Amino acid sequence: MQPIQNGPTTTGEDLLRPPENRDYTKHRQRQASPARKLGRTRRQKDRRDFKEDENPEEKARRHKEQELKPLYKELLYTIAHKLGKPASGEVYSDTQLHRYIREGFSMTEAEDISLKEKVKTTEPPVYCLMATVKEAKGILGKDISGFSDPYCLLTILEDEKASRTRRSRPKPHKSIVKDAVSDEEIHQTDIKKQTINPIWNQTFVLEFEDTAGASFHLEMWDKDEEVSLAHKLEEFRTNFHGLKRMIKDAKKDKGEDDFLGIVVLKLQDLHCTEDNWYALEPRTETYPDRGKCHLQLKFIHKERDGTLSAGRSAYVNYCGILQQFVHSHISKQQGNAPWKGELCGEGQTLLELYATQNDLSPFLQDLAKWVAYSKLYQSLEVDSSVLFQQLTSIEYHWHQQELPYQQKQELGDSLHGFLQYGLCLVSKYRDIFPPTQNATRRLHTLLRVLVQICKTRAFQKLNPAQFDLHNEVSEAVEAGTQEWFAIKKGLHQPMTKDLSETLSALSMLIGEVQEDITHNKDVWNSVFSSVVQLDVFTIIYLKLDSLLAGEVKDTLSLLEGQMEQKLANGLFPIYLSLQAIHKDKAYLQKRGKKLQLIDFHEDFRDALPYWLNTAFSTTEDRVERAVQVDQLVPLQTGPVPIKHSSSAVDLVACIQPICKLWEQLSWPDPEEAFMLMVKLTEDVCKIVVTYCRMLKVRVRELSENSDHGSAINMLCVVVNDLEHLRSVLTRLPVQLNWAGLQERTHHVIGESQFHNTLPSQVQHTQGVLNREIRSAVETLGKQLNTDIETYVRSMSTRRRIPSKSTEDAVVPLMRYLEKELQYMNENLVQENFNSLLTPLWTNSVKILYQVATQHQQQEGLVVFCRRLQYTLQCLEQCFHADGNGLPMDTLHNDDYKTLKAHLTLNSLSSQQLIEKYMERKVWEQKVFSGEKYGAVTLLASYRRSDQRLRVEVLNAANLLPMDSNGSSDPFVQLCLEPRHVFAEVELRSTVIKSCDLNPLFDESFEFLVSLEQCQSPGACLVVTVLDHDTLRVDDFEGEAFLALKAIPGIGGGGEGSAETQTDASPAQIRLPLIHPKGCDESLLKLLESRKGEKDVQAFVKKRRQREKQSQEGIQ
């Protein structure tokens, strides 16, 4: 049911225009509309219907008289004749509502009283209840078929009529409506045939005088019509269960309808609008469930006084009231947050009352809100989500209700106008929606509103022309980007034609562009992509690339032939900004179009040498200043010391900008990039060498007036500085990313050329550093070596040997080393300390060896060597320092091994030397292979029970012919060695076998010796085979050495073992005969040097005799 609009309908634009001097414009101002210049605050559109020079006060007065007072009277009339409760649930008194509208319309007390008097003189409206019977469900089936033919009767009864009707009835009756009022006051729906779920969707307007004591009545009846007997019999035949129903029908009056239920609602309990399901109640009969009915109820006015607002339609008035309430609400709102679309309770109640009284449909209400809010959005801070909600409601209502023509036109114009306005905002999104979380959220909502507008069927119907939002937004962004660039260019125009100022202006412009590209990439692009699927970053990047390329080309063309250091310095920030912009091309989605800034570096080629020179000279100056103020003291002491000085740290900081320059330039041309790297590496190496030279000069200056200790301390710091610099230089290839450069240039620079150029520069500089470090370390070590030699020689002086023990003699040297090495460890970094320890250890070993070999006298030699051996052990522990010093591999070098072997032998007694000699002979016997000189076979065992060693000489074989007849007269001597162990054991010999090279002896010998003697070091059985000569000394056939531990019964377990319980079985042993070698043996020489021991000299003489008789080495 469409409402009837009274009077001509207008767009309401004049009505909605507030005066310029309203207070709310001070509270909620937005930025200027797109039609205005960028950067100004957006104000209300200046819709001037009068002369430009009109008095603002007069204009405001006329606005109140013509626009606000009619609306004010409408609201007073609404309050005076309000019907129903508000939907919000909170009920406001008339006084509260009057106070609210008076504040909202800024009416004075006199104006309020005057308008109230006028409203009192107006004609009251006709009160009506608009009732829409939608449908019913689950009603009773009164017919034989189980269905009913339902219809409804509607009316409004006052309590007096209802009670009078009940008193006038002679007996209880189901019907109230039919008997209470005349037929003219009863409204009847259509009859729905054969259903228990009827659908009507019929609307009726019921007039009443007052809500007090009045009730809305709806009775539902089943229509019964006269039918033939044949038809009833047919129903009975097909539906036996209808017999009871049929009998009941026979009792009632002919053609009487059946009662289905009733709904009674008191008007004073109803809200302005109701939309509910109501249960059908019984009158006299009670059924468990009579079903329910769906009703929509609304209180409206008919014949409302038309003099209140000069004949304007209710829709236009509603728009004006709504906008005035919103303005008032926003002006009172605290803070800067945009309005979220919610009014206070009084405002919502008044809007609801006015809309229902004038029968404004929800569609028209939402339309009015959209029109009002969309206009407010252009002047005040209104949240875009409010618009989105209204669009959703309009889309819902579009197919539910048909709009009048003028409202359709208004909706179409509003949607299209807001689209254009939104696109204007989008074109200036940089300024209106800055890259903050709150602003981007508003941009996101605005774009959603634009998308929703294009999706609504209302827009598609009312704007049949094709409208591609994606293209429109793209064009708006591109146009806005060009306008933004032009504005920024104008802001950064140079004031003069000076080239430096021109470059500065260009640098600031490029900085603005770089920042804008970053914001689009990181912030705005995600907003546009998610809502309108538009890659805004690509659009603005391509546009700014084109605009910026032209600007850069025009500016740099002015520098041709005029390049100098000052201009080159001004170009460097421009290059860096363009470099950053160029790197952002990686985020482009479409790469079809060639970028105009792709080869921008070519325009800066002439400035490149100036940039390198600036970096080198600046770094060199900083290094020189750093050395001049350096006092060559450790930078930090304590638990975590920093042992180099301040200049070393400053040097690293000074070199870092050169490395950063390479990263900043990122020169695209591979061949030129390689040459650039060569130059940068060369500059770094030059600075390092210069630093070494300046540091040497500085340490000389500071050492001139310093004591010896301070000079040593400064020298330690210098060594640490050089070592720190060497580590920095080692990391240079990584810092400059040589590997990445080699990969980039492999197609133009060969691998050999690459390695012969860059690494050679660093290696040469490292060589210089290494030489300087070695020189400084050697200077430190010279004094230490001299002192160590002095202590060693003093410790080993012959006259002091008996006066001091070995431990006491070493103490002075170890105290000195502990003190000096601790000092060096505290003042040198670990690398330099280790480099000092290595030569110091080597020299110490050489000093000990020199001292040990310079004394040839035998008196006190053993004690002397033992003292040196102990000294060597102490030095080894000192330099190793439990793993914190030199590693064992470094300590145990060849010189150390030679010295240790020498001292070990010379520290042994003569008996120990003989034992070692016999052990060596046993080892030679074991490793000797073949029977070159023959062999001897023995059968040997040891009986522990009686401590007897039994040796049976079985035979000899393959002996050498020693006589002229080609034969020999052999015999075997058995001797137990060493003699100092077996001093009481005599030499044993077999019988002589004449002329026999393979003699058979079969002779047994027993030696009474203890097990302890047999198990002593070097204990062995020496078997000597001789050729008997009568007139001359017996000839030497050969000898063999058998370790006694190898004889059964000797090498077994201890007491309690099997061998102690029973004597071991003899073992047959075949021993090859050997001859001693003619070379000089160290053990014999050492024994030979001990002239004072007769037994030793006899042993040496015997062994020397055997060496003379030996045929080893004779061809």
CA distance readout (Å), 163 to 160, 214, 590: 5, 12, 84
Instruction: Assess contact for 854 and 895: CB atoms under 8 A.
Output: no
Tens of pLDDT, residue by residue over 6-31, are: 333 344 444 333 334 334 333 334 33
**Pick from 409, 428, 418: which is nearest to 391 by CA?**
418
Helix H, strand E, coil C: the string for 890-914 is HHCCHHHHHHHHHHHHHCCCHHHHH
Only one residue has tokens 């070097």, namely 1018
Res 592: pLDDT: 65
Can you tell me the distance from the alpha carbon of 436 to that of 442, in angstroms, rounded to the nearest whole number? 10
Q: Is 146 left (phi over 0), alpha (psi -120 to 50) or beta?
A: left
Tens of pLDDT, residue by residue over 830-878, are: 777 777 788 888 888 888 888 887 765 555 677 778 888 888 888 888 8
What's the token pair of residue 1110? 């030996």
3-state class of 395 per DSSP? helix
877-886 — which CB contacts under 8 Å span 24+ positions? Answer: 878/814, 878/817, 878/818, 878/821, 879/837, 879/840, 879/841, 879/844, 885/834, 885/837, 886/834, 886/837, 886/838, 886/841
Res 3: pLDDT: 40
Residue 580, burial from CB neighbour count under 10 angstroms (0-12, 13-18, 19+): middle
Instruction: Assess contact for 779 and 824: CB atoms under 8 A.
Output: no
- Range from 244-248, 379-383, 757-761 carrying the lowest mean pLDDT: 244-248
Residue 4, burial from CB neighbour count under 10 angstroms (0-12, 13-18, 19+): exposed
What are the b/e assignments for 81-105, b being 16+ CB within 10 Å? bbbbbbeeeeebeeeebbebbbebb
pLDDT, average across residues 726-741: 87
Tens of pLDDT, residue by residue over 569-604, are: 888 999 999 888 888 888 887 766 778 888 888 888
Helices 565-583 and 608-628: crossing angle, nearest 10°? 110
Res 1114: pLDDT: 60
pLDDT, average across residues 150-155: 94
pLDDT, average across residues 32-42: 33
pLDDT, average across residues 893-904: 85
Q: What are residue 949's phi and psi, to 5 degrees?
A: -100, 120
Can you tell me the distance from the alpha carbon of 458 to that of 468, in angstroms, rounded to the nearest whole number? 16
- Range from 125-129, 765-769, 1052-1056 carrying the lowest mean pLDDT: 1052-1056
Can you tell me the distance from the alpha carbon of 958 to that of 933, in angstroms, rounded to the nearest whole number? 7
**Pick from 954, 933, 922: which is nearest to 1035 by CA?**
933
Continuous segment of H or E residues that includes residue 111: helix 109-120
Only one residue has tokens 């023959």, namely 934
pLDDT, average across residues 941-965: 91
List helix spans (H) across 345-404. 345-357, 362-377, 384-397
List helix spans (H) across 263-383. 314-332, 345-357, 362-377
Continuous segment of H or E residues that includes residue 952: strand 948-957
- Range from 421-425, 458-462, 689-693, 953-957 carrying the lowest mean pLDDT: 458-462
Res 891: pLDDT: 87
3-state class of 419 per DSSP? helix
List helix spans (H) across 239-285. 243-251
The residues, ordered by sequence, that sit 6+ positions from 854 with a Cβ below 8 Å of its Cβ are: none
pLDDT, average across residues 130-159: 90
Instruction: Assess contact for 32 and 40: CB atoms under 8 A.
Output: yes
Average pLDDT of the chain is: 82
3-state class of 264 per DSSP? strand
Can you tell me the distance from the alpha carbon of 293 to that of 264, in angstroms, rounded to the nearest whole number? 12
The residues, ordered by sequence, that sit 6+ positions from 1055 with a Cβ below 8 Å of its Cβ are: none
3-state class of 557 per DSSP? helix
Asked whether residue 254 carries a pLDDT value surpassing 60, the answer given is no
Identity (one letter) of the amino acid at 136?
A: A
CA distance readout (Å), 142 to 277, 285, 290, 1030: 22, 13, 11, 165
pTM: 0.60
Q: Is 958 left (phi over 0), alpha (psi -120 to 50) or beta?
A: left
pLDDT, average across residues 348-357: 88
Q: Determine what percent of the chain falls in helix, strand and coil, rounding each to the nearest 5.
A: 55, 15, 30
What's the token pair of residue 41? 């605050």
Asked whether residue 637 carries a pLDDT value surpassing 60, the answer given is yes
Q: In the Cβ-directed half-sphere of 584, how many Cα atoms lie within 13 Å?
A: 24
What's the token pair of residue 887? 């590693």
Identity (one letter) of the amino acid at 157?
A: L
Asked whether residue 988 carries a pLDDT value surpassing 90, the answer given is yes
Res 11: pLDDT: 41
Is the bond preceding 978 in cis, omega lying within 30 degrees of 0?
A: yes
Res 964: pLDDT: 84
Tens of pLDDT, residue by residue over 443-465, are: 988 898 888 888 888 887 887 67
- Range from 343-352, 438-447, 787-796, 1076-1085 carrying the lowest mean pLDDT: 1076-1085
DSSP string for residues in 607-651: GHHHHHHHHHHHHHHHHHHHHHT-----SB-SSS-B-S-HHHHHH
**Pick from 129, 125, 124, 126: which is nearest to 156 by CA?**
129
Percent of the chain exceeding pLDDT 90 equals 22
